[in-house]
Amino acid sequence: MKTHKMFLIIASVILILISLLLALSFRFYNCSVEALETRPAFKSGDEIKRAFLSFDDGPTVYTEDILDLLQAHNAPAIFFLWGERITNDMTQNELLLKRMLNEGHYIGLHSMNHDYRQLYLEDNSPQEFITQMIDAQKIVYELTGYLTHLCRAPYGRMSGFTQAHYNEVANSKFRCVDWNIDPEDWKNDADEIFSQLVMQIQKLGFPPELMIVMHDVGEETIIALPKIIEFLRQYEYFITPYSPDHEFIFQNYTF
Ligand SMILES: [Zn+2]
């Protein structure tokens, strides 16, 4: 009788365990289906259209407003920072740079002094270009602990790079990136910024990757930004956070 009772108890425990396992696996199955369904409606693999928002020449008095807007729209960006503008106010800019990284943005380098002659025209300018990127890199590292190798040549590589510049960069760990969309936000009003952007994207036939260059230098960019983000998402561009392993496929600006 005792053995019979023991057998019944063991059998019940096994049955309870099996039911629990079944219930759990059903629950997980449901979760995964649900997770798939609630993913954003972007297409898989190569069909994803990506847009990178980039802001050059900061930090300035406009940078905080840009960060607020990006946060409100949940949109990541790349900030190509001008070294001497960071050192203008290290205390304030430490907070700003840390905020950028905390909120999912990426920090790139944009030289120390943005000086066309020093960076492109003088005899030692290819070495000067690298030296200025290293100096800016060190400042960003000291303030944030983050070592970035992404850089954007002031005025773009197409405006001043010689073969020696290309060689210097190739022999360094830096990686330069230009753009394929330039709404010239530093000189246009918000309506013109938006219409230039739309016109250029249309002209390129809504390509799979956009690198949009803007600047932390005026109110008009800030006014245009929500409309730009809305337009990109309307046309199913995924506003993409930059990651160093990303291989850019866009062709440089040729307008
Ligand atoms: Zn610049």
pLDDT of residue 33: 34
Ligand 1 center from residue 41 Cα (angstroms): 35
Q: For residue 17, what pLDDT is reported? A: 62
State the distance from the centre of ligand 1 to the C-alpha of 245, rounded, in angstroms.
24
In the predicted model, residues of the chain with pLDDT beneath 50 are: 24-44
Phi, psi of 238 (to 5 degrees): -90, 115
Please give the distance, rounded to the nearest whole angstrom, from the Cα atom of residue 38 to the centre of ligand 1: 39
Distance of CA 36 from the midpoint of ligand 1 (Å): 41
**CB count, 10 Å around CB of 179?**
18
Query: How much distance in Å is there from the Cα of 57 to the middle of ligand 1?
Result: 5
Q: Tokens 């993409």 identify what position? A: 240
pLDDT digits (tens, 9 = 90+) for 100-117: 999 999 999 999 999 999
Q: How far is the CA of 79 from the centre of ligand 1 (A)?
A: 11
The pLDDT of residue 38: 33
**What per-residue confidence (pLDDT) applies to 20?**
55
Q: Report pLDDT for 174.
A: 98
In this prediction, residue 18 carries a pLDDT of: 62
For residue 170, report the distance from its CA to the centre of ligand 1, in Å: 21
User: Which pLDDT value is given to residue 219?
Assistant: 97
110 CA distance to ligand 1 centroid (A)? 7
With both helix axes pointing from N to C terminus, report the angle between 190-203 and 219-234 in degrees, rounded to the nearest 10: 40
The rounded distance, in Å, linking the Cα atoms of 117 and 184 is: 22
Query: What's at 206, amino acid-wise?
Result: F
Q: Give the Å distance between the CA of 210 and the centre of ligand 1.
A: 19
Cα(107) to ligand 1 centroid in Å equals: 14
Measured in Å, residue 155 CA sits from the centre of ligand 1 at 6
Give residue 157's pLDDT. Answer: 96
Determine the CATH number of domain 52-239.
3.20.20.370
**Each residue's pLDDT tens digit, 47-87:** 799 999 999 999 999 999 999 999 999 999 999 999 999 99
90 within 8 A of 249, measured Cβ to Cβ: no
DSSP secondary structure of 163-215: HHHHHHHHTSS-EE---SB---TTTS-HHHHHHHHHHHHHHTTS-SEEEEEEE
Map residue 153 onto helix, strand or coil: coil
